[in-house]
Structure 1
């Protein structure tokens, strides 16, 4: 929803992706979420996203007790047989690597399990949203699981400070009776080189307070920027020369194609689609 359509009685929804973008570049947040100037997804990236969505859907169906084997066989005659085989390999490898996650102990009625578990938390005038790929909880602990279909990141610390990790742990602690020390989050990377690989993050009360402080700082700034935006002011930009701009689809719009006195062409900017170089000259058409 465009900020211009928000009333005082409505809450602006924020996901982990929006928080990551807001922290990385406020102006990019403005272009993407307030003005909805999302560029077309490249075909190769679109295919990867589609394959990831298929895997998540299969995991959800499996958790619901549906027969996913028939689904895979039914699609095996389609043109994207390679994608179906890849899904089969991912599912098979994950079942071998983490059978304890996939085993549903129906006899233990005190264990809660839910795929695509949805939670919200109001902080200030914002509604924070979190969708857990799988949540398993009992009387002692709560475990968050997230499936990733891209290779395992080399930097675990970067993943630790990603807002998906911070927000998901924070929201669960705030909306349940579990102390932070009894909550964990595990990422499973099904496309690792040899076999599926996991990265687990535990939680603590001190981390919870640090995230609370950082979150409120971001929301305070966002409120100020939104109020200024209503008066015609732009969100803050990154400083000139910041390397992040070299890979941003809004570089031209933000006048970040200049380095010193020399203008850089689209060919000089890796990751920037040449069709977006003149994006600033294209009439803005809000996307529904």
Structure 2
């Protein structure tokens, strides 16, 4: 079965041809030093949060590099209720769930899943800046797929589910402290997600059947995404004024279970 994560779905919906290059042809682009440093920072933050959740010893926060220590301390202060012991909760860190659908295996990894008798919460730690519009994140396949899979693989009703993003990076001047965005779920949203997901998977199946004799569709040439895409030359959409390599799209980075 072809494994699909939220990163696959976001890229497939954004640009089918880029999906082909990244996931079928296994093409990659260089990562800058700054980009790699950000990825490493996020990985270390997630590992420390998982280690804490599992009750494993971690160094005193004072012994951790200042940005990590500052962000972890700020998160604990901003939402102490998330980290207080509660016998009514079942807490699962870096929890993986899968759901077979249309010969695909949908895979999600929850940074922290909190299960209670009448509700369940998905928590996700974000180590990049909070998006200016919550509507963008509401339509993002991470939000949609994570809630959809939990509803399909548990006894909770959609109305009992929610997903909370915590944007955790804190600066030393305390002008940028952890903030959160909460998305509730419903039966209406669940049915809409299912319809959109089924349609997208049907398209993927059709495109895969025609490949490699026929490439996946391209987005319109007028789309601004081509201007910053690393595959513009390969797609014959090159802009001579554009640098050879552009910013790496974070949606193409696969999630890795810790």
The TM-score with structure 1 as length reference comes to: 0.81
What residue number does 2:255 align with? Answer: none
1:142 is paired with a residue whose SS is: strand
What residue number does 1:164 align with? Answer: 142
Task: Tell me if the contact between 2:61 and 2:69 (Cα under 8 Å) persists in the aligned partners.
Answer: no
Unaligned runs of 5+ in 2: 247-258
238-247 or 55-64, larger mean C-alpha shift:
238-247
What residue number does 1:233 align with? Answer: 214
Moved over 3 A (4+): none
Q: 1:131 aligns with which of 98, 109, 115?
A: 109
CA-CA distance at 1:194 after TM superposition: 2.8
Structure whose alpha-carbon radius of gyration is higher: 1
Cα distance per residue 1:111-159 (max 9 Å; x no partner)? 2101001100011110000000000011100000000011111010000
How do 1:178-197 residues align onto structure 2 when only pairs under 5 Å count? 178-191=156-169, 193-197=175-179
What residue number does 2:74 align with? Answer: 93
- Return the alpha-carbon distance in structure 2 between the equivalents of residues 214 and 89 of structure 1: 40
- Return the alpha-carbon distance in structure 2 between the equivalents of residues 148 and 179 of structure 1: 26
How do 1:174-213 residues align onto structure 2 when only pairs under 5 Å count? 174-191=152-169, 193-213=175-195
Aligned pair count reads 242
Cα distance per residue 1:174-203 (max 9 Å; x no partner)? 000000000000000012643100000000
1:152 is paired with a residue whose SS is: coil
- Return the alpha-carbon distance in structure 1 between the equivalents of residues 190 and 142 of structure 2: 14
CA-CA distance at 1:241 after TM superposition: 2.1
How do 1:238-253 residues align onto structure 2 when only pairs under 5 Å count? 238-253=219-234
How do 1:48-67 residues align onto structure 2 when only pairs under 5 Å count? 48-67=38-57
CA-CA distance at 1:71 after TM superposition: 8.0
Q: 2:30 aligns with which of 35, 40, 46?
A: 40
Is 1:273 aligned to 2:245, yes or no? yes
34-43 or 16-25, larger mean C-alpha shift:
34-43
2:163 is paired with a residue whose SS is: strand
1:68 is paired with a residue whose SS is: coil
1:237 is paired with a residue whose SS is: coil
- Return the alpha-carbon distance in structure 1 between the equivalents of residues 207 and 232 of structure 2: 20
What residue number does 1:104 align with? Answer: 85
Task: Tell me if the contact between 2:161 and 2:184 (Cα under 8 Å) persists in the aligned partners.
Answer: yes
- Return the alpha-carbon distance in structure 2 between the equivalents of residues 86 and 247 of structure 1: 30
CA-CA distance at 1:67 after TM superposition: 2.2
- Return the alpha-carbon distance in structure 2 between the equivalents of residues 184 and 166 of structure 1: 11
The Cα RMSD (Å) is: 1.4
188-197 or 30-39, larger mean C-alpha shift:
188-197
What residue number does 2:250 align with? Answer: none
